[in-house]
Amino acid sequence: MRRKKWKAPNNPTVQARQLWRAVYGEPWPKGWKVKWVGWMRGAMGLCDYSAKTIVLNWGDFCRPKYVEWHDWRTIYVGEGKEISFSTPSKRLSPRSVIETLIHEFTHIRNRGLRHGAEFDRLVRWGYDRLMKEAA
């Protein structure tokens, strides 16, 4: 018997675009999209520059190790605008998704910059800016 092919629960590009706008205040990078994959070994997300795609690891986001059990499904940014990460899985942690997206956004904005202190500083800056905007 064949195993049923995995199907992504939704298209996260819309939420990612809203998140980008809330953090950076500029238009979404032309041609980029975001998609879920069922499983990637050792990575929560990655940027595929040639396909202009951010790939998010659904399998790891749903594992209990990465889940924060408080209900943090919607973040409000600026004048009544909201980014909602409603998904069929109650096990998904939107906070982890947001942190991963900001990490991948940093890769897009600073293509030549490798992981390290400066990279981490830029990721923290993006997350802090989002939290300040949401407050």
- CATH code (residue 71): 3.30.2010.10
pLDDT, position 62: 66
Pairwise CA distance, residues 121 & 124, whole Å: 5
- Has residue 5 been placed in a domain? no
The DSSP bridge pattern shows strands 74-77 and 53-57 to be unpaired
pLDDT, position 69: 37
Enclosing domain of residue 62: 13-134
pLDDT, position 121: 93
pLDDT in tens, the chain (135 residues): 777 777 777 788 988 998 999 899 999 999 999 998 877 777 788 899 999 999 988 776 666 554 443 344 455 555 555 555 544 444 455 567 888 899 999 999 999 898 899 999 999 999 888 888 766
Terminal alpha carbon distance of the chain:
51
Total number of domains in the chain: 1
pLDDT, position 88: 44
- Has residue 104 been placed in a domain? yes
